[in-house]
Amino acid sequence: MPELPEVETTVRYLRPRLAGKTIKDFWADRDKVVRQAGGILGFKKEVKNKKIVKVYRRAKFIVIDISGDKSIFIHQKISGHLLYGKWQFKNGLWEAKSGPLKDDPENKYIRALFHLNNGYQFALCDLRRFGKIVLVKDKDISNLREIRDLGPEPLEIDLKDFKNLFKDKRGRLKQVLMDPFFIVGIGNIYSDEILWKAGLHPLTRVENLDNKDLGKIFKYSKEVLEKAVKLQGSSTDDYRLPSGEKGEYQNVHNAYHETGKKCRKKDGGVIERLKVGGRSAHFCPVHQVLK
């Protein structure tokens, strides 16, 4: 599933390309994609000829504010990613005209597509079909079930408030960092990378952390996430930029999917993998301390 760096990269790419444009038409391959009363036709009626005012992110969700009192709320889910370019409908499928949008097989699963007044389109590509697009009243966005109880943004919180999150908190460190109601946007990939840098074992109990440990987690959360945004995310699986290209952060992973490789700290460790709460954790058994 796309994590904070992938969603932030998507928003930064789309924002200047979508803002000010008008939605001229909409297509989806089935009603389930839009989760809307009236299905595809009802959704199309609501968004057609509306101008895109702004594009922004909250946690792993993308919000496209359109003229009027509503916004388009997009959750890409496990395998979804948004694309921007030009397609033509051919033999019952949308086919991109050129480049990675056409050539990369991960970009061929077009489930929904918005036509813009500049001749371009943006689309939801989603192999597993879990992604969803919902039209929401602007005043209701902060009260959406997916958003209302979320934790703070890791790139916006300060050290004092970050440390306060851990007061009276219990549990395994990796699971806590991945909990969106604790702090948003840190999933499987970046929890591994943050803990590798912080020198903390994924099974560490958060109630055993001291101030120095919390300072390290805070520092490296920002460092890892900011670098991942700069490198436009990790394309280890389905994720692609809206251009159809891959991100580059997977090329500098220190722990995630590095099982069996020598630790880059050159401490004699070899990256291992274990299960934490049903998810994989990758770590160095030498320098990542279990507390």
pLDDT digit string, tens, across residues 80-103? 999 999 999 998 899 998 899 999
2 part of the active site: yes
Q: Indicate whether 277 pLDDT > 80.
A: yes
196 within a domain of the structure (yes/no): yes
pLDDT at residue 223, rounded to an integer: 98
Residue tagged active-site, from 2, 5, 154, 202: 2
Spatial separation of the C-alpha atoms in residues 137 and 284, rounded to whole Å: 47
71 pLDDT band (50/70/90 cuts)?
very high
Exactly one of 60, 70, 111, 197 is catalytic; name it: 60
| Same-domain check for residues 19 and 71 | yes
Q: Using one digit for the tens of pLDDT, what is the confidence trace for 200-211? A: 999 999 999 999
In degrees and rounded to multiples of 5, residue 169 shows phi and psi of -85, 140
Regarding whether 278 and 231 lie in a shared domain, the answer is: yes
**Choice among 3, 8, 46, 193 that is catalytic:** 3
Average pLDDT over residues 135-144: 94
Alpha-carbon gap, residue 71 to 137, rounded angstroms: 6
**pLDDT score, position 37:** 80
Is 152 a member of any domain? no
Please give the Cα distance from 212 to 215 (Å, whole number).
5
- Annotated catalytic residue, options 129, 222, 279, 291: 279
Among 112, 143, 174, the domain boundary falls at 143
pLDDT digits (tens, 9 = 90+) for 230-273: 999 999 999 999 999 999 999 999 999 999 999 999 999 999 99
Predicted confidence at residue 1, as pLDDT, reads 77
Annotation marks residue 193 as catalytic: no
Rounded mean pLDDT, 117-126: 98
Say whether both 112 and 203 belong to one domain. no
The average confidence (pLDDT) of the chain is: 96
Q: Is 257 helix (H, G, I), strand (E, B) or coil?
A: coil
Domain match, 137 and 171 both = no
Integer Cα distance of 262 and 170 in angstroms:
32
CATH number at residue 261: 1.10.8.50
Under 8 Å CB-to-CB from 105, ≥6 apart: which residues? none
- Give the Cβ contact number of residue 277 at 10 Å: 12
Q: Give a yes or no: residue 236 inside a domain.
A: yes
Q: Domain range holding 188?
A: 159-283
Same domain, 184 and 279: yes
The pTM (predicted TM-score) of the whole model is: 0.95
For the chain, what percent of residues have pLDDT higher than 70?
A: 100
Instruction: Look at residue 194 and tell me whether its pLDDT is greater than 80.
Output: yes
Q: Catalytic: 5?
A: no
The two tokens of residue 22 are 């008008």
95: which strand partners?
88
Counting the structural domains of the chain, the total is 2
Nearest to 179 by CA among 165, 167, 193: 165
**Which of helix, strand or coil describes residue 189?**
helix
CATH number at residue 39: 3.20.190.10
Residue 20 confidence class, pLDDT cut points 50, 70, 90: very high
Percent of the chain, pLDDT > 90? 95
Residue that the structure tokens 């089935």 belong to:
30
Residue (of 226, 152, 225) closest to 184 by Cα position = 152
Query: What pLDDT does 36 receive?
Result: 82
Domain co-membership, 127 together with 190:
no
289: in domain:
no
Residue 266 is a catalytic residue: no
